[in-house]
Structure 1
Amino acid sequence: RRATDPALRAAPLRARTFPDFKTSLTMDCAFRAGPSPVEIWSGPIKGLPRMREKLSEYAPPHPAGIWPLSANILDPIRASIVCEGPAQIVQVADWFLNPDAEACACGGGGGGGGC
């Protein structure tokens, strides 16, 4: 279901499903506003036929058609990070984009670990 589906938007985080993403890990993370669950969903790896198709889309005379063409394949490995709200999404993005952000060790053992 699309994120715009009212039933999906109203569903609690842990009750949501994403058909293209089969595997997920849920953990509680320490946000500025307090702890909140975060789900990391892994998607299927982009296959070789699709990567070749993307390469052909960006071949010259396309403006991005410069060497290496593989620079145009930005998502061979896909994941979605699902948070409770926009403030958490912004903070998670900062964790990935800020080189000075602290990394945390998350508990393992089948999910449910915390950061």
Structure 2
Amino acid sequence: MIMNANNYIPKEPVTIECNIEKTLDVIGGKWAFLVIRELFCGTRRFGELQRLIPAVSPRALTTTLRHLEEKGVLERHVFPTVPVTVEYTLTPKGEDLHHILKQMKLWAAKWT
């Protein structure tokens, strides 16, 4: 604490940015890895992702897709059909995660 003549003023904690934390903020969600894994195979529609990841609820999948879109990992393409067709594709930023996820898979195979 820093002492002032009138009272005590708490000192703000120093925050050090960690790149690993930043990465986990993007891909650390419960379903994010599985969604990204499926998109490594190419463009997918919402229904396809739901079938490929059967344990995810529609709400959780929607939340995950929105989060990944906000973070620039995937792109959402809407086609004016009836019903509306929506497709999801990895961006170059998302494609760049392939090596990281592959290394995590190798680590898991070795140690778990």
TM over 0.5: no
Structure ID, larger Rg: 2
TM-score (norm 2): 0.25
Between Structure 1 and Structure 2, the one with more helix by share is 2
Query: Which has the higher relative contact order, 1 or 2, with Cα contacts under 8 A spaced 6 or more apart?
Result: 1
TM-score (norm 1): 0.25
